[in-house]
Amino acid sequence: MPTHFKDLKKSLKVSPLLFIFVTILLDKLGESILFPILPFLLERFRSDALTLGLLTSSFALAQFFATPLIGSLSDRYGRRPVLLLCVLGTSLSYYLFGLAGSLWVLFVSRMIDGVTGGVAATAQAYIADISTPADRAKNFGLTGAAFGLGFVLGPALGGSLAGINLNLPVFFAGTVALLNFILGWVSLPESLKPENRRALRLKDLNPLGQINDLFQHDRIKGLLWTTFIFNFAFSGFSSVFVLFLSRRFGWGPASAALVFVFIGVLSTVIQGGLIRKLIPAFGEGKLTLAGLVALAIGFGLIGVIPSETPTLYVLLYLSQGLLALGVGLILPCLRGLISNRVSAQEQGRTLANAQGLQSIASILGPLWASWCFDHVGIFSPFWLGAIFILFAFGTTWMNLQSMSSESASS
């Protein structure tokens, strides 16, 4: 290896946990940078909510079929090569999205991003590799902070850069992903020990079969239902919320971005610092339940927001604050509960397949929410979302009760 390249690697060497933090941050930044601008980018071709929902679902559909392969490859060959490939694919997909001159190219670009969209699952498996069981939920909380910070920076940049050019945020997202790929190439070590690697099997590439196998784990079955319902409701909310703000209040990208920034700031505070203090005091189970209650109330409040009075801002930001609190508690605690109930050899496959389950929810959620938005009413996705989250509360509570009974009898 040339001396100058070795010197470059040495100068760019960063903590693996820090790199994972940055990777998830940039991945979420790239995803959320589209939130305040996607409906307006789509207006050049179509303006109905269903097309917006289909575009959102196309990413999740591609991710669903690719995720089993991504997870199995990371369990066989290691986290590093798979993670870098996913980051590079994300970068290329954003460049294609920014250059799209027709609707079908937008769909193709989102599907390419979905095929290489295993960044989060592989990054979480990396964290599971380098963390003790006691530290996993805390370290997942750090990734949650990256999620929240990306949620702050993405919409803020999307709203501000769109004022210069509507496509500029998309090219920015592609560029930061490319820079992250370069940083990982020269600095990221492998985390998966040779003795924890597992052979690649043909049946591991069947996403439906993988998810069916996942549900055979009695210890995590209820948590998987929670994962599905939570992502179904939240992806539906995310897909139509900016359109709701535009139709209900006449807001553009900049105004919508401020709401997402508010959510991101609170979520970052919760997942970046507060969660580390709350977990030892209350445990992941109780915090997951509390997060689901906060999320249900937040969804319900959206349905009573008036269109013109000063109460608008109070209720809007209160509802989004509750959503941020809910997401900030649910994400790290739910991942921690699932991760701690499977073996070291199953971490990559389990977390990747859980992401596959999230992908199904993210396919169906936007389709359901956008259809309801067009045909039932603009408030209906939020009221129904609150009801779904209450079902998720029930599946979580039953799982925790079952585990408590198992612990008591052993």
Contact call for residues 53 and 371 (beta carbons, < 8 A): yes
Which of the pair, 339 or 380, is modelled with greater confidence?
380
The whole-angstrom separation of Cα 65 and Cα 4 is 41
| pLDDT at res. 347 | 65
As a whole number, mean pLDDT of residues 10-17 equals: 61
Q: How far is it, in rounded angstroms, from Cα 218 to Cα 227?
A: 15
pLDDT at 3 over 60: no
Q: How deeply is 21 buried, as exposed, middle or buried, from its count of CB atoms within 10 A (0-12, 13-18, 19+)?
A: buried
pLDDT (mean) for 382-394: 94
- 210 Cβ contact list (under 8 Å, min separation 6): 68, 71, 204, 349, 353, 356
pTM (2 decimals)? Answer: 0.73
Rounded Cα–Cα distance for residues 291 and 85 (Å)? 33
Instruction: Return the pLDDT at 408.
Output: 55
Give the per-residue pLDDT at 255: 80
Q: What is the pLDDT of residue 297?
A: 95
Terminal C-alpha separation, the chain: 55
Domain ranges of the chain: 13-186+201-402
The fold adopted by the segment(s) 13-186+201-402 is: Growth Hormone; Chain: A; (1.20.1250)
Does 13 score more than 70 pLDDT? no
Tell me, what amino acid is at 194?
P
Residue 252 DSSP label: -
- As a whole number of angstroms, the distance between CA 211 and CA 202 comes to 15
Whole-angstrom distance, CA of residue 106 vs CA of residue 111? 9
Measured in whole angstroms, the distance separating CA 83 from the mean position of its chain's CA atoms is 16
Confidence category of residue 210, pLDDT binned at 50, 70, 90 = low
Q: pLDDT at position 393, please?
A: 95
Q: Which of 8-12, 280-284, 295-299, 300-304 has the highest mean pLDDT?
A: 295-299
Residue 7 has pLDDT above 60, yes or no: no
Q: How far is CA 320 from CA 17, 95, 241, 259, in A?
A: 29, 31, 11, 8
**Model pLDDT for residues 215-251, shown as the tens digit of each residue:** 777 778 888 899 999 999 998 998 888 888 888 888 8
Which ranges of 45-78 does DSSP label H, i.e. alpha helix? 49-77
| Residue 13: both structure tokens together | 């060497």
pLDDT class of 8 with cuts at 50, 70, 90:
very low
pLDDT at 355 over 80: no
